[in-house]
Chains A and B, each alone.
Chain A
Amino acid sequence: AQKVTQAQTEISVVEKEDVTLDCVYETRDTTYYLFWYKQPPSGELVFLIRRNSFDEQNEISGRYSWNFQKSTSSFNFTITASQVVDSAVYFCALSEETTSGTYKYIFGTGTRLKVLA
């Protein structure tokens, strides 16, 4: 069965520390997409990154970086030099094709990150 696991329910770090949020997924498909979204206290999820299953290149965007490893079915997210504004709930998600040819999202349970000043 398709599944996304974010084992870390809540993480607290002090400002300027690096932090890694883990995401492990399960899927039978060879073609799928992985995402990370950020949910600040205002409630709306904000898209951070999308990666398809054929692109294992790691990505860096400013203080954010993502490590995709198909061998371990993981898509981890690292924030370097964390800031208070990074405090939010972060969701990892998997999008894969349904039997009807459309795509459906499966979200993890989220990791709440608290960055303390």
Chain B
Amino acid sequence: KAGVTQTPRYLIKTRGQQVTLSCSPISGHRSVSWYQQTPGQGLQFLFEYFSETQRNKGNFPGRFSGRQFSNSRSEMNVSTLELGDSALYLCASSLASRTNEKLFFGSGTQLSVL
């Protein structure tokens, strides 16, 4: 069974640009959540989607948005990039409708904003 796939693996952008990251969950998983990982801050929760609906949202500005498609694939978009957005963005999927189940993570997209 294929794991969680995130593309691209690395991305370099400049301030003011926008970026879209993609996540394909494990087959059959309907919940997809996104996290931002920066040194010293650990993993910060961005949002979670379940059956194409955003179910939970973290404390990030509106520049961060996401969506989920009918096949459970998810995309995350960051508009008007800032230097502080440089981070590893991790996607995680889970099988059950309740997110106290264990998460399966992708290898992440390393975003560098110059």
Contacts and interface: CB of A to CB of B under 8 A. Distances in A.
Interface of A: 6, 33, 35, 37, 42-47, 50, 91, 93, 95, 98, 100, 102-110
B4 A44 contact: yes
Interface of B: 3-4, 33, 35, 40-45, 48, 50, 55-56, 88, 90, 92, 98-100, 102-108
B107 A43 contact: yes
A102 B51 CA distance: 14
Contacts of B106: 44
Contacts, number: 66
Contacts of A100: 55-56
B17 to A, nearest CB: 23
A102 B45 CA distance: 14
B24 to A, nearest CB: 13
B102 A47 contact: yes
Contacts of A107: 35, 42-45
A43 B56 contact: no
Contact of B105 (A33, A44, A108, A110): A44
Contacts of A45: 43, 90, 92, 103, 105
Given A44-B107, A100-B56, A102-B56, A108 B102 contact: no
Given A43-B88, A45-B90, A109 B99 contact: no
A104 B99 contact: yes
Contacts of A46: 105
Nearest to A105: B45
Given A100-B56, A102-B56, A102-B98, A91 B103 contact: no
B66 to A, nearest CB: 15
- Nearest first, the 8 closest Cβ-Cβ pairs linking A and B are A109-B42, A107-B43, A103-B99, A43-B107, A45-B105, A47-B102, A103-B100, A95-B100
